[in-house]
Amino acid sequence: MRRTIRRNSVIALALLCLLLAVLLIAEPGRLLKLDKALAVHGFQTGFKLDHHLLATLPSDKPYLVTAVFAECPDVCPMNMNTLAHLAERFKDDLGFVLISLDVGADKTGVQAWAELALPGAMVIHADVDAQLRQIMRQLPESFYPAKGTIHHSGAIYLMYPNRPGLIKYRAQDRQYIYDDILTLKLNRQQHASS
């Protein structure tokens, strides 16, 4: 009885290895593309940012999205530094969307920050409670209300064409963001050439 089970297990394992070898020989490019499409350092979410202003953005370009307060003492300056560094590396191949969480009459702080560090960045002012609630629902792990104010995690999101959702990073993950943009760009070029 044990020999039969052992023999059947060995046969099943051999057939599985044979099937894998046939797949690798017959379709090596397809398996490589699938692997590259899934290999990102950031956390792949199912979240999509749905805002009417985003419809005006070219859809063939990746965008980094983050929320900022003009008076933020720590997380926002670190995020802006990361975004400015990536803007230098990618030039016109990368766009930026800043969600301004400043409410009230003065909305110039984030806009001035964007013009200084990220010329050409789109700034979405979440100045109406309904807009802010909508954004908080779309990116729930990034924002949380606390006693009359809003805290945010400082996450940076990569919105890449044809991805199932936003890819989430911490501001400290500058190299991971850079690597993932290059990997996704290479994968996209390979798909276009085949």
> What residue numbers does the annotated binding site cover?
72, 76, 152
Q: At a CB cut-off of 8 Å and minimum separation 6, what does 138 contact?
A: 47, 48, 49, 50
Q: By C-alpha distance, which of 147, 158, 156, 165 is closest to 182?
A: 158
- Cβ proximity of 167 and 42 under 8 Å: yes
Binding residues for Cu cation, as ranges, are: 72, 76, 152
Encoded amino acid at 81, one letter: N
Give the whole-angstrom CA distance, residue 148 versus residue 150: 7
